[in-house]
Amino acid sequence: MRISASLCLAALASASFVSAPASAQPAIKSAPITAATPPMGWNSWNFFAGKVTDKDIRAAADNLVATGMKDAGYIYVNIDDTWEGQRDADGVLHTNSKFPDMKALADYVHSKGLKIGIYSGPGSKTCAGYAASLGHEEQDAKLYADWGIDYLKYDECSFTGDVLEKQAPSDKAAQMRLMIAAYQKMGSALHATGRPIVFSLCQYGWDAVWEWAPGIGGNLWRTTGDINPRWDRIYAILSQQAGLEKYAGPGHWNDPDMLEVGNGKLSLEENWSHFAMWAMLASPLLAGNDLPNMKPEIKAILTNSDVIAIDQDRLGHQATRAYSDGEVEVWTRHLSGGALAIAILDAGDSRYSTHPFHLDLARLGLHGPQNGKDLKTGQPITLTNNMPIEIQSHDTLLVRIATPK
């Protein structure tokens, strides 16, 4: 069982309280929580997939700085699958030719004031067929720490065939116990390195991972299968997050997958809604776009500081779907200082101006006019009961109310 440093310190603090007078108490400073707010950064998979190289990662780091994304909070530069080479006779994993020197790359990313993430899995192979960590967990965790890695995405992939189907072919409950043990093994191995490494579980939400991941040291866990840059997929994933809000909080987050903002053929409204709703969900914000060629309107979305402030709100309360009216959905999120974020999303394409959406404030527990800020335009807005709101197909009205009544 991986026990968080803060829990250990709390236990130490209470133990010493029993045995020593108050005046003799050492000042105990609790360790910072890893991933106290949802991790923000960029990951290589959604744009580069298997083609990513050392050069691309350096360019991503350079561009996070040059575009202002680093200043907006995007700190992690995460290498996804396909960096792995072969193990040597001692079992030490080496990089492949696309990544000639991982330590030098980590040093470079750190020199920019950023952090670096890497990828593996509990099976013998990653999803792209490269070497993963089965039987080498401690060795790999130590290697990552030696390189200076700050974040690990740990992807199930071949673990099903390698272990679950071999060791418990027709016993789902036993398979899940094996899965939990495998993730716990890497969680403990990372913890044993003494380096704070964000532990990102990727097993597609199987067997209510949100119920057990925090207990084995998981800082985030994928709740669904893979995202792609299409509205129907993004909306399907969003829908599956309703009800999971109670599992999110500082240090442990639901992960509806990395951002596709700026990818594929998403419209501007879809890019905005994707970003706005992921922020409402207190989701990790890992951009996955082509940073050197980012269009200004995509940069404007990704660096919208009001939206990022919702995602990063220190209370870590994930949004709740308050109600829906056909294809229009209203989500709310309670923020620090008593503020409230309201997102009204038109997820479909069959509502026209002859029948705009009418906001029912009472269903949000609100009474009377609510003064707020429209976070897309930056302009003040007053929400009144039953007001007609026309929202374009796949667009979202995102409002922050400082003092809800």
Residue positions annotated with a catalytic role? 155, 226
Residue from the set 56, 80, 84, 329 that interacts with ligand GLA by CB under 6 A: 80
Contacts (CB under 6 A) with ligand GLA, residues 350-389: none
Residue from the set 202, 248, 359, 397 that interacts with ligand GLA by CB under 6 A: 202
Residue from the set 33, 128, 176, 242 that interacts with ligand GLA by CB under 6 A: 128
- Does residue 233 interact with ligand GLA by CB under 6 A? no
Q: Decide whether 53 or 304 has the Cβ nearer to ligand GLA.
A: 53
Shortest approach of ligand GLA to residue 233 CB, angstroms? Answer: 13
Residue from the set 42, 45, 144, 272 that interacts with ligand GLA by CB under 6 A: 45
- Does residue 127 interact with ligand GLA by CB under 6 A? yes
- Does residue 226 interact with ligand GLA by CB under 6 A? yes
Three-state SS letters, the chain: CCCCHHHHHHHHHHHHHHHCCHHHCCCCCCCCCCCCCCCEEEECHHHHHHHCCHHHHHHHHHHHHHCCHHHHCCCEEECCCCCEEEECCCCCEEECCCCCCHHHHHHHHHHCCCEEEEEECCCCECCCCCECCCCCHHHHHHHHHHHCCCEEEEECCCHHHHHHHHHCCCCHHHHHHHHHHHHHHHHHHHHHHCCCCEEEEECCCCCCHHHHCHHHCCCEEECCCCCCCCHHHHHHHHHCCCCCHHHCECCEEEECCCCCCCCCCCCHHHHHHHHHHHHHCCCCEEECCCHHHCCHHHHHHHCCHHHHHHHCCCCCCCCEEEEEECCEEEEEEECHHHCEEEEEEECCCCCCCCCCEECCHHHHCCCCCEEEEECCCCCEEEECCCCEECCCCCCEEEEEECCCC
- Piece of the chain touching ligand GLA by CB under 6 A; list 4-12, 121-129, 290-298, 327-335: 121-129
- Piece of the chain touching ligand GLA by CB under 6 A; list 64-72, 123-131, 264-272, 297-305: 123-131
Q: Decide whether 73 or 256 has the Cβ nearer to ligand GLA.
A: 256
Residue from the set 34, 37, 44, 126 that interacts with ligand GLA by CB under 6 A: 126
- Does residue 155 interact with ligand GLA by CB under 6 A? yes
**Number of residues forming the site for ligand GLA (CB under 6 A):** 9
| Interaction site with ligand GLA (CB under 6 A) | 45, 80-81, 126-128, 155, 202, 226
